[in-house]
């Protein structure tokens, strides 16, 4: 019997307690809490929720924050590695390299116990922003900025990137961006991480699998694609032509469409409001207006073409928000990874907890050698 589903669409491969997604109703919940209701929490609280299964109380949060903030700093070996990376490289490739280096010097190297894996997870959550920010400073001929332990996760990232403290609105948007990016069930990169973990390989290797998979343009790489697309469109007057050309050339529109959501991605709704808020502060740059028009035209044209709406996904309005925050496109997908590392590591811990090797079958369709 051929029960193959191309792209494993709708196949249930694992059980999880981490995220609930209803693609028809447009619901996403982390550990039972609707993602929209998590917007007033910090990324530190949300990463604790994902990793440990519950929101921390005051004293647990204080301990967790202390651990995370103490782990932000990079040792000089990592900075040396960042200095020899290709300055033109996408930050995802640099992140992958840095994690590989860090893994070899981890105090728990070769220890695959739950405690050691939890410690490694927290260290990766803490260090990812420092890696991306330091790489950005280095390629711009600047010295890396040390983390500021007084600042929250998102604000500290912007501070290390730009060397000045962000405004309250910028800090709030970055924090929410990291929360919205943190987790999404068995998406391709999380699946890749879980497959690696299921071989009982180490958690750093599993996270590198996740980074490599998130980078693709059909997944988190669409954030880069959407930023480049906004630049290419450039003005509201070019939107109609752009969409028409995409349809003629059968080119995918970055940041639109989703395997699971048959309605508006609930995260895109939040991002859209955030981007709108940013646009009030910066009336000169019309990114929000371009984005809104693009959404309308894509809706109209795809309904005409295939009687189906193609909705924006998490990457589209994230890219618009990044334009307002002057985030360089080269960093855009890696910033997604700064958020998603909490989801990846939580899934790895869940996989190790009740592991069975993930090993599906392929149907052989060529010919059998029979001597
Ligand atoms: C964080 C994330 O990973 S969110 C997703 C990020 N990726 C993107 O934004 C890239 C653009 N989007 C896409 O390529 C797709 O929507 C995917 C890969 C995300 C999901 O795709 P799937 O569920 O596999 O749908 P599939 O690729 O089968 O497409 C179904 C139909 O919709 C069309 N379609 C889907 N998305 C788009 C899009 N963004 N632009 C144009 N057409 C699209 C396809 O061309 C196809 O049309 P056809 O049936 O006439 O050939
Ligand atoms: O779930 C997916 O396929 C992609 C996605 O939205 C994510 O990883 O955030």
HEC sequence for 127-191: HHHHHHHHHHHHHCCCCCCCCCCCCCHHHHHHHHHHCCCCCHHHHHHHHHHHHHHCCCCCCHHHH
User: What's the pLDDT score for residue 307?
Assistant: 86
Taking residues 146-166, what's their average pLDDT? 98
Q: Taking the domains of the chain in order of start, what are their residue ranges?
A: 19-217+335-353, 222-324
Digit-coded pLDDT (tens) for 332-348: 999 999 999 999 999 99
pLDDT band at 285 (very low <50, low <70, confident <90, very high): confident
Integer Cα distance of 264 and 249 in angstroms: 25
Where residue 371 falls among pLDDT bands split at 50, 70, 90? low
Q: How far apart are CA 230 and CA 286, in angstroms?
A: 10
Cα 113 from chain centroid? Answer: 26
Residue range 180-205, pLDDT digits in tens: 999 999 999 999 999 999 999 999 99
The CB of 117 under 6 Å from ligand 1? The reply is no
* Length of the chain in terms of residues written: 371
Exposed / middle / buried, residue 82 (Cβ in 10 Å: 0-12, 13-18, 19+): buried
Query: What are the residues facing 28 on neighbouring strands?
Result: 21
Task: Compute the distance from residue 31 Cα to the ligand 2 centre, in Å.
Answer: 17
- Percent of the chain's residues with pLDDT above 70: 99
- For residue 1, pLDDT over 80 is answered with no
Active-site annotation, residues: 258, 315
Would you say 123 and 51 are in contact if contact means Cβ atoms under 8 Å apart? no
Averaged pLDDT for residues 99-117: 97
Alpha helices in the chain (DSSP H): 43-52, 58-70, 76-84, 91-104, 114-139, 153-162, 168-181, 188-198, 203-214, 222-233, 239-248, 266-281, 287-306, 314-324, 329-353
Cα 49 → chain centroid: 17
pLDDT for res 333: 98
Confidence of residue 2 (pLDDT cuts 50, 70, 90): low
CA distance linking residue 332 with residue 267, whole number of Å: 17
Residue nearest to atom 31 of ligand 1 (CA): 257
Query: Which residue, by CA, sits nearest to atom 25 of ligand 1?
Result: 259
- pLDDT at 284 > cutoff 90: no
Terminal Cα distance for the chain, rounded: 27
Distance between CA 281 and CA 203 in Å, rounded?
A: 41
pLDDT at 359: 97
Find, among 140, 141, 134, the residue nearest to 79 by Cα: 134
Q: Which residues line ligand 2 (CB under 6 A)?
A: 184, 187, 259-260, 313-314
Collapse the DSSP code of 281 into the 3-class scheme (helix H, G, I; strand E, B; otherwise coil) and give the result: helix
Nearest CA to ligand 2 atom 9: 184
Assigned CATH topology for domain 222-324: Cytochrome p450-Terp; domain 2 (1.10.230)
Q: From the CA of 214, give the closest atom in ligand 1.
A: 3
- Mean pLDDT value of segment 289-298: 98
Domain 19-217+335-353 belongs to what topology? Answer: Citrate Synthase; domain 1 (1.10.580)
The CA distance from 15 to 350, in Å, is 9
- Give yes or no for a contact between 352 and 114, defined as CB atoms under 8 angstroms apart: yes
What confidence score (pLDDT) does residue 141 get? 98
> C-alpha distances in angstroms, 34 versus 37, 40, 141?
5, 12, 42
- For the cut 90, the answer to whether the pLDDT of residue 80 exceeds it is yes
Ligand 2 atom with least separation from CA of 186: 1
Render pLDDT for 20-39 as a digit per residue (tens, 0 to 9).
Answer: 999 999 999 999 999 999 99
Fold match between 19-217+335-353 and 222-324? no
ipTM above 0.85, yes or no: yes
Question: Do 92 and 157 contact (CB within 8 A), yes or no?
Answer: no
């Amino acid at each position: 019997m051929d029960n193959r589903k191309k792209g494993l669409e709708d196949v249930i491969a694992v059980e999880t307690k981490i995220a609930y997604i209803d693609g028809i109703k447009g619901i996403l919940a982390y550990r039972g809490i609707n993602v929209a209701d998590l917007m007033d929490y910090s990324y530190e609280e949300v990463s604790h929720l994902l990793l440990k299964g519950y929101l921390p109380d005051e004293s647990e949060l204080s301990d967790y924050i202390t651990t995370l903030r103490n782990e932000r700093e990079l040792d000089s070996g990592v900075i040396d590695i960042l200095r020899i990376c290709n300055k033109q490289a996408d930050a995802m490739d640099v992140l992958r390299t840095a994690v590989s280096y860090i893994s070899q010097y981890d105090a728990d190297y070769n220890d695959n116990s739950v405690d050691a894996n939890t410690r490694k997870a927290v260290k990766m959550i803490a260090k990812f922003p420092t890696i991306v920010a330091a790489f950005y400073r280095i390629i711009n001929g600047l010295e890396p900025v040390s983390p500021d332990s007084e600042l929250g996760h998102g604000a500290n990232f912007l501070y290390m990137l730009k060397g000045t403290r962000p405004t309250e609105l910028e800090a709030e948007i970055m924090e929410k961006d990291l929360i919205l990016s943190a987790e999404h069930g068995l998406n391709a990169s999380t699946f890749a991480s879980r497959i690696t973990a299921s071989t009982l390989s180490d958690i750093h290797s599993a996270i590198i699998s996740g980074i490599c998979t998130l980078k693709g343009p059909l997944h988190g790489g669409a954030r880069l694609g959407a930023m480049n697309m906004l630049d290419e469109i450039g003005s509201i007057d070019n939107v109609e032509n752009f969409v028409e050309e995409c349809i003629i050339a059968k080119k995918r529109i970055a940041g639109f469409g989703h395997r699971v959501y048959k309605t508006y991605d609930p995260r895109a709704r939040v991002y859209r409001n955030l981007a709108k808020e940013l646009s009030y502060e910066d009336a000169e740059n019309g990114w929000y207006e371009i984005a809104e028009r693009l959404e309308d035209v894509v809706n109209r044209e795809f309904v005409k073409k295939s009687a189906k709406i193609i909705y924006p996904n998490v990457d589209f309005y994230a890219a618009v928000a990044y334009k307002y925050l002057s985030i360089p496109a080269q960093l855009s997908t890696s910033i997604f990874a700064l958020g998603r590392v909490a989801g990846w590591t939580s899934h790895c811990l869940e996989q190790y907890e009740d592991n069975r090797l993930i090993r599906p079958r392929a149907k052989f369709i060529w010919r059998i050698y029979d001597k």
